[in-house]
Copies of this chain bind each other. A is one copy, B any other.
Amino acid sequence: MATLYDVAKLAGVSPKTVSRVFNESHLVTEETQKLVHAAVKKLDYHPNAIAASLKRRRCNVIGFVVPYGSDFVFQDVNMMEQLRGAHDILTREGYEILISAPIRKEDALNEISRLVKHHNVDGVILYPSAGVDEIIAEFDDKKFFYVTLGMCFPGQQTNFVDISLTQSAYQATKYLIDTGHRQLGLLNRPDSFFMNTRNDLLEGYQTALQEAGIDFQTNLVYEGDYTFESGYQALLTLREACPAIDGLLCASDPMLYGVIKAMQDLGLTLGKELELISVDNLPLTRKLYPGLKAIHNPAYEQGSAAGKMIIEVLKTEAPILGVTLKSNYISHQK
């Protein structure tokens, strides 16, 4: 493997000049550059990123860390969308992405610390989960760099990109009410899942109900766990609590599929006995159920915003004010 020195020797310039050609080429005359490039080509030289990292104290790698165990991560379409958003931005800006999803959820926090402290990454994009607030505290303390995909604790001010569903939930609920539905259920995400205490779906749902003079019933809210199975169970439970249920907001599409399966098994027709609203709007859902109303969860945008934010954090080496994106209520045309 040719090194910088080999190139310098062959080109008849100093090592530093070769380095400049790769990193600050504007400081080198075109002539010298040509000389260097010729030598580079002849020797098939490629700069060693590791050596540069050691000296620069930056390795241009961002960790994408999901503290939920690998079986969960790689099957969650939303997470993949966030990853894709982050990936596209980071790649464009010259960063590599290292993914880390501990096999056992319990190892998650150690994993994150390890990655950062060992300088495998310059910073991390982090999923909210139990215990992440402690990590963050340590990071702030030691000047490690991070951005979280959502607020990790009440009052977090900086370095997060969150999504608020409140307004869309309001619109979606209002739509159901306006189209004559009165027994409206909410298949919510688990309260504890994302550590923020806000419960934005519930908020929008309640506001719309209140506005329409419909009483809020606790037993029309079911807390799912994002899975198909919990969606299936949700409908059974909700129908038991309120047989006349005629509308349902589903906080995730896998749960929505579970609900639809339960409907099939119960002989219910989508849009007839029961109207559903997807709070995910995954491509597959759009294709399988083109008529379905949905709240679009801007996961890709969240990921790319987080990517931009971590780059900015690395640049300024200072915290950055958090951002909350809004989801969109969409009523499909087709």
Contacts and interface: CB of A to CB of B under 8 A. Distances in A.
A97 to B, nearest CB: 6
A183 to B, nearest CB: 26
A136 to B, nearest CB: 17
A120 B103 contact: no
B288 A257 contact: yes
Interface stretch (A11-19, A79-87, A172-180): A79-87
A102 interface: yes
Given A46-B118, A49-B120, A54-B50, A84 B71 contact: yes
A120 B257 CA distance: 41
Nearest to A228: B287
Interface stretch (A88-96, A201-209, A237-245): A88-96
A194 to B, nearest CB: 21
Contacts of A219: none
A19 B61 CA distance: 25
B92 A103 contact: yes
Contacts of A120: 49-50, 61, 96
Interface string A90-118: 01100011111111000000000011011
Interface string A230-256: 000000000000000000000000100
Contacts of A99: 87, 97-99
Contact of A80 (B49, B74, B88, B97): B74
A44 B296 CA distance: 45
Nearest to A77: B75
A284 B92 contact: no
Interface residues of A, number: 48
Nearest to A117: B46
Contacts of A37: none
B81 A74 contact: yes
A217 B88 CA distance: 44
Interface in A114-129: 114-115, 117-120
A200 to B, nearest CB: 26
Contacts of A75: 77, 80, 84, 283
A101 B261 CA distance: 35
A258 B257 CA distance: 16
27 contacts: A48-B118, A50-B54, A50-B59, A50-B119, A50-B120, A70-B87, A70-B91, A71-B84, A73-B84, A74-B81, A74-B84, A75-B77, A75-B80, A75-B283, A80-B80, A88-B103, A91-B100, A92-B103, A96-B98, A96-B120, A97-B98, A97-B100, A98-B98, A228-B287, A229-B287, A257-B284, A257-B287
